[in-house]
Amino acid sequence: MSGSGLVSLVGAGPGDPELLTLRAVARLGEADVVFYDALVDRAALRYAPRARWAYVGKRAFRPSISQDTIQALMIRRALRGERVVRLKSGDPFVFGRGGEEALALAAAGIPCEVVPGVSTAVAAPALSGIPVTHRGLSAAFLVVSGHSEAAFAPVLGSLEPGTATVVVLMGLQTRALVAGRLLSRGWAPGTPAAVLLAAGTSDARTWRGTLAVLGCCELPDLHPSLPGVLVVGASVAVAAQLEALGGPRLTEGGPVGAAAAD
């Protein structure tokens, strides 16, 4: 096993290849093979000119290579002495199954390193002008997966109303359930809320409104498959204040609408 290669679990950030870290770029440049997810911008692969690129999927409700198969492929290539990059959207340890892969590699005796990425949980709001913490408005933020009610219901049900900014990844399809859970917990219907689509890409769009209408907000038919992030909390209102003051606009694309209650 002493001749084994190295597997780097690399975070690609929220979408824009310019948000890759210097270490991520270095690992891509050294790679023999890159296993990359569906949400990774293919432009990031220009940093891996000598590598073989292998697409593995990993989008909800779409065909993907199984997790066990991905892990087996990484182990096989590393045993050949190759340098392997597992390129994931956001950060590999934030809903990216990076922990599972690290454990599988360690069990197989494969040298592994983690290269953190800019997590979409904080980058998507930031690129839309929303701070997840803001003095006087929010001293904490909560990140939860929205892929199923069983995943987020216990956490949201235990959160005191208005005590944190709530960030929901993979929550577009369940936004009505998320909103309903918070409202039933006692959150004010007028709590600011946002839906952030395709943050860090040229398709980026933002909807802002209130928690009362988050569950039924209309998103554009032209973007039915874009990845999205939900944000609920008082600090969402900072984005509108920045716009009114002519502050920085860091996100590409434009708004998709806002509730009349804004």
Q: pLDDT for 80-139, tens place per residue?
A: 999 999 999 999 999 989 999 999 999 999 999 999 999 999 999 999 999 999 999 999
Per-residue burial over 43-78, b if 16 or more Cβ lie within 10 Å, else e, is ebbebbeebeebebebeeeeebeeeeebbebbbebb
Q: Please give the distance of CA 172 from its chain centroid, rounded to a whole number.
A: 12
Question: Which token pair is 93?
Answer: 């340890």
Average pLDDT value for the chain:
89
Active-site positions? Answer: 37, 58, 170
Q: Is domain 6-115 given the CATH code 3.40.1010.10 in the classification?
A: yes
Average pLDDT over residues 65-80: 95
CATH fold for the domain made of 120-258: 3.30.950
Given a contact cutoff of 8 angstroms between Cβ atoms, the answer to whether 27 and 8 are in contact is yes
Domain with CATH 3.40.1010.10 in the chain: 6-115
Question: Which token pair is 189?
Answer: 């219907």
First to last CA, the chain: 60
Res 249: pLDDT? 58
Res 189: pLDDT? 98
Question: Which token pair is 40?
Answer: 């990774």
Tell me: pLDDT of 253 over 80.
no
**Going by C-beta distance under 8 Å and a sequence separation of 6 or more, which residues neighbour residue 136?**
none
Res 252: pLDDT? 46
Res 1: pLDDT? 40
Res 78: pLDDT? 97
CB-CB neighbours of 242 under 10 Å:
17
pLDDT above 70: percentage of residues in the chain: 88
Helix (H) or strand (E) holding 7: strand 6-11
| CA 228, 231, 235, 239 torsion-angle sign | positive
pLDDT digits (tens, 9 = 90+) for 175-196: 999 999 999 999 999 999 999 9
Domain with CATH 3.30.950.10 in the chain: 120-258
Helix (H, G, I), strand (E, B) or coil at 205: strand
Res 85: pLDDT? 98
pLDDT digits (tens, 9 = 90+) for 226-252: 789 999 999 999 999 998 988 765 544
Stated length of the chain: 262
